Structure 1
């Protein structure tokens, strides 16, 4: 990042930071997209099993990634304030924290996976696929979480093209191993949907290896010597990371887990309904990478300017980012509406299942705009290190308002499973309104704090 002096410069710099993030996010999500699409062609049961497995995994993945995301605003504000000498220490603590979080998730998974699956009304084969898909993914947890810590370091320097290139290198690896492990090509065992989990684990190890090499050998990262003079675990640094990262992680967890909760509640319906719901979520979530990328870029830009106490510049980035995300959100709604029928056949050749997917995608059109507002605002608030109130807002919007509304619509109206999507739209809209108000409050308080310091 660098200081800018005009709106045109800010737009150009934000775009240069954001578009590699977008390519990275789309690339990372394409791994899940490929898992789901290829599993669907292995059979409806495989798609349902992977759907349930993904619905349990994605909230954990995004929640842990959110905790480790605390590195980005911390390092960005340090850079803006001229305190880059602390970079190596914080990155090392982020890696230690990633190891600890991996151990915690592994222990919880060992004791809770079977009981959670037993609570669901799944066909035995679908439950088996879900369990072993998750076991396969688990083999790649450690490298994936450490990669997330290292990515926070890379992105905080504004070097987002680096993570983009690493992700693009990984996509062919993921596609190849999905193909051979799901369908049993080239002498590999035919594992069906289970193979998608192991393919993802192999890909995570590949990403980890390339990222470690890059941060150790390639400038400007090698200049920070993050692997030399290794520091032990610092509880004060962990406390700082967790105080900032836990609300971020929980905010993202509550937003993503409502989709997972809906998938689990849909276990009362047929395997085809579960598969169609997951396929529609999978396609719509691909376009969600656009506002998410705006959020990541805004965290970096706003964090840098806030650290340097250039609040007018932070406001300018906020306006540019939110307006840009809103425009892209409108475009995403149009894309889903126009492509809903061909998109359905990406996941299946069964006409009845494809028709169900198309119906779910119609509902997905309506929550694109809410996503395009609330997600970038979350990124701005993280740049200001304001994370606790947004967490409570997400909890209230999604779990106290959205999910109950969806359950009521599903149970007490003719909408059935589509009623849950009404709940998703409601939760996203309420969250967007709450966060917009919170941003106004934070900007006023931050400005007053600076005036008091002067």
Structure 2
């Protein structure tokens, strides 16, 4: 039996010894998980671009309202990604142990949790939308438009979280294609519906929010139908949901550390100069885009490593970790070479302002040099997430933020170091994370076998 069959038939790994031939999986297997995952990750930013283009023709005020409302909704959903990543980790282990029904059952409980948390977000959002938007914008007109959009869009929050949970359990059982189809179906509907509701139907900015909810309803409904077809118990199990929340706590704290870093960087850039914050935005958006590419490899690592550990094969899990890390490094090097070559031309696609173009190199070469580092860090993040080693990742991320990023970023404001200081902070953040995750990877302490990690 081939390695691909071992991964495809998880129970087999329990009946063989941990021999060297089972340390790797075929590259096509990694790509089969990573490429659809990249499609899912990229679908939302692409939809946001389409929606922005539609609303942008209404004028500056509706566009500002969409920007603020969309940012607030995104901040909430970003903090709850544990419903995706945590569910993948737990589901993959059970799948690897040959316990598919229980693996899908994790998806059922994550879906119940998504509904519960989503309803809390919906109610709290309706109550807090206006004061939070007012505090962030300081402009009554922008606040009014943002709140009008947000209060409609929030009705999609439970379904956004259901989609996250669905992505999580399907990745865990190594079904990477259906999530892509489901997300694309929802976003395609919204891309068609948004301009119709905004213009001919005359709903304006609010039409965009209605289209957003419709997209989430379609995607969420497809995931719910997929669960119903699995013929597993659908009753809520509080004990399982509580275990998922414990794992989620660590991932939420980790996400908060990321938010603190990037919000601080934006705030310091804004206080440096208009040209500096514009240049920072250009390079940061490219960084975010390439992060999606690298994160797709990490998602493949989560699924494969979790399955190997669930099957009791520590050697295979470590072999996959080594393999994925090499892929991450190679991809990072390729991206660094490509964007180094584009340094004189690509920035002109984003701006023609001479002052902004003069500032971009102060961040650009950090962005380029960090790609190989990011390739390894993202790959090992995926390995450790697949091993459900969330408490370590929490500590490593928070420690890197407190020791590296935040002091350097705020020192940049005090001493006037500008973009170079801000991106030095990001470099310290990534290098510290690299040191932490490489040390953990080399130690092997993450490789705890069993269907469920204690």
Pick the TM interval, shorter chain: 0.7 to 0.9
* Residue 7 (structure 1) shift: 6.5
* Residue 21 (structure 1) shift: 1.2
In structure 2, list runs of 5 or more residues that go unmatched: 8-20
Confirm or deny: 8 A CA contact 1:94 1:149 kept in the other structure: yes
* Residue 139 (structure 1) shift: 2.5
Supply the distance in 2 between the matched residues of 1:269 and 1:63 (Cα, whole angstroms).
28
* Residue 437 (structure 1) shift: 1.4
Q: 1:240 aligns with which of 239, 243, 248?
A: 243
TM-score, with length taken from structure 2:
0.81
Confirm or deny: 8 A CA contact 2:92 2:103 kept in the other structure: no
Match of 1:87 in 2: 103
Match of 1:281 in 2: 284
Supply the distance in 2 between the matched residues of 1:141 and 1:178 (Cα, whole angstroms).
18
Match of 1:433 in 2: 435
Aligned residues: 433
Match of 1:219 in 2: none
Match of 2:217 in 1: 205
Supply the distance in 1 between the matched residues of 2:178 and 2:43 (Cα, whole angstroms).
13
Instruction: Describe the superposition over 1:355-389 as per-residue Cα deviations: whole angstroms up to 9, x where unpaired.
Output: 48956862543443333222221111122221112
Q: Classify the secondary structure of the residue corresponding to 1:69.
A: helix
Match of 1:323 in 2: 326
* Residue 110 (structure 1) shift: 4.1
Q: Classify the secondary structure of the residue corresponding to 1:167.
A: helix
1:312 and 2:315 matched? yes
- Shifted more, 6-15 versus 308-317: the winner is 6-15
Match of 2:235 in 1: 231
1:66 and 2:69 matched? no
Instruction: Describe the superposition over 1:253-278 as per-residue Cα deviations: whole angstroms up to 9, x where unpaired.
Output: 42245324433565657888666644
Aligned CA distance change for structure 1 residues 202 and 277 (closer, same or farther; 3 Å): farther
State the superposition RMSD in angstroms.
3.6
Equivalent runs, 1:21-420 vs 2, <5 Å: 21-35=37-51, 50-120=66-136, 122-180=138-196, 184-191=198-205, 197-216=209-228, 222=229, 224-226=230-232, 229-232=233-236, 234-263=237-266, 277-278=280-281, 280-338=283-341, 351=353, 355=357, 362=364, 363-415=366-418, 419-420=421-422
Confirm or deny: 8 A CA contact 2:23 2:318 kept in the other structure: no
Match of 1:18 in 2: 34
Supply the distance in 2 between the matched residues of 1:137 and 1:256 (Cα, whole angstroms).
22
Aligned CA distance change for structure 1 residues 357 and 296 (closer, same or farther; 3 Å): farther
* Residue 212 (structure 1) shift: 2.8
TM-score, with length taken from structure 1:
0.81
Q: Classify the secondary structure of the residue corresponding to 1:140.
A: helix
* Residue 301 (structure 1) shift: 0.5
Confirm or deny: 8 A CA contact 2:84 2:169 kept in the other structure: no
Supply the distance in 2 between the matched residues of 1:282 and 1:122 (Cα, whole angstroms).
25
Q: Classify the secondary structure of the residue corresponding to 1:82.
A: coil
Confirm or deny: 8 A CA contact 1:322 1:377 kept in the other structure: yes
Confirm or deny: 8 A CA contact 2:115 2:162 kept in the other structure: yes
